[in-house]
């Protein structure tokens, strides 16, 4: 399906930008940087709007790539302090609401290895399937499942009773 109008693009941005921003914040841990990478991703989408058949998947892939670029450039993991200072992004229902303290969740996510963090953010906060997560991260479904299992186990260690079955889907 080919998209022809800028009105369709505007509608997509209005409908999906809050959820995409939340994903970006969880990936990079900083609202300002998340807004920057989302804007870059949406600009890339705008230039290809007529030819992209899955715009949300395209934007998520760009967000992951830009977050990785930031990690490579910084040569360090996102610090706990950056995540602690990240502001809450207004949104609808959010699985993170099941954890009593958002800052605790952000600190726990910061302690995960980059790949595990990406998988958790895409699977449980962007609500992607295993197959969609695998495609976005360019890894096998088995690898997504392995990273998910390890990440959930580590989050259970870090969060104890605060994490619920519903929050991580296991």
Looking at per-residue pLDDT, the higher value among 74 and 158 belongs to: 158
Tokens of 49: 């709007």
Report whether 144 contacts 134 (CB < 8 A): yes
pLDDT digits (tens, 9 = 90+) for 7-19: 899 999 999 999 9
Tokens of 145: 């499942």
Kindly state whether residue 126 falls inside one of the protein's structural domains. Answer: yes
Kindly state whether residue 80 falls inside one of the protein's structural domains. Answer: yes
Please state, in angstroms and rounded to a whole number, the distance separating the CA atoms of residues 46 and 9. Answer: 7
Tally of domains in the chain = 1
Tokens of 53: 């058949």
Kindly state whether residue 29 falls inside one of the protein's structural domains. Answer: yes
Please state, in angstroms and rounded to a whole number, the distance separating the CA atoms of residues 26 and 88. Answer: 10
Does pLDDT of 112 surpass 80? yes
Which residue range is the domain that position 21 belongs to? 6-168
Kindly state whether residue 1 falls inside one of the protein's structural domains. Answer: no
Query: What sign for the dihedral angle of Cα 116, 118, 121, 122?
Result: negative
Q: Residue 70's domain is classified under what CATH number?
A: 1.20.140.160
**Mean of the per-residue pLDDT values for the chain?**
79
Residues 6+ positions from 155 with CB-CB distance below 8 Å: 108, 109, 112, 120, 163, 168
Does pLDDT of 78 surpass 80? no
| Per-residue model confidence (pLDDT) at position 13 | 94
pTM value surpassing 0.95? no
Kindly state whether residue 121 falls inside one of the protein's structural domains. Answer: yes
Query: What sign for the dihedral angle of Cα 153, 158, 161, 162?
Result: negative
Looking at per-residue pLDDT, the higher value among 52 and 69 belongs to: 52
């Amino acid at each position: 399906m080919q998209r022809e109008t800028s009105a369709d693009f505007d509608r997509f941005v209005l409908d999906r930008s809050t959820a995409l921003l939340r994903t970006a914040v969880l990936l990079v841990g900083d609202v300002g940087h998340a807004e920057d990478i989302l804007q870059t991703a949406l600009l890339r989408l705008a230039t290809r709007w007529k030819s992209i058949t899955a715009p949300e998947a395209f934007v998520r892939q760009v967000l992951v790539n830009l977050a990785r670029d930031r990690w490579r450039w910084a040569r360090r993991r996102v610090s706990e302090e950056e995540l602690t200072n990240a502001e809450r992004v207004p949104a609808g229902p959010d699985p993170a609401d099941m954890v009593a303290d958002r800052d605790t969740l952000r600190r726990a996510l910061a302690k995960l290895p980059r790949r595990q963090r990406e998988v958790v953010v895409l699977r449980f906060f962007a609500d992607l399937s295993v197959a969609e997560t695998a495609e976005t991260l360019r890894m096998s479904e088995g690898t997504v499942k392995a990273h998910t299992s390890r990440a959930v186990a580590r989050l259970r260690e870090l969060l104890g009773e605060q994490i619920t079955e519903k929050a991580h889907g296991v």
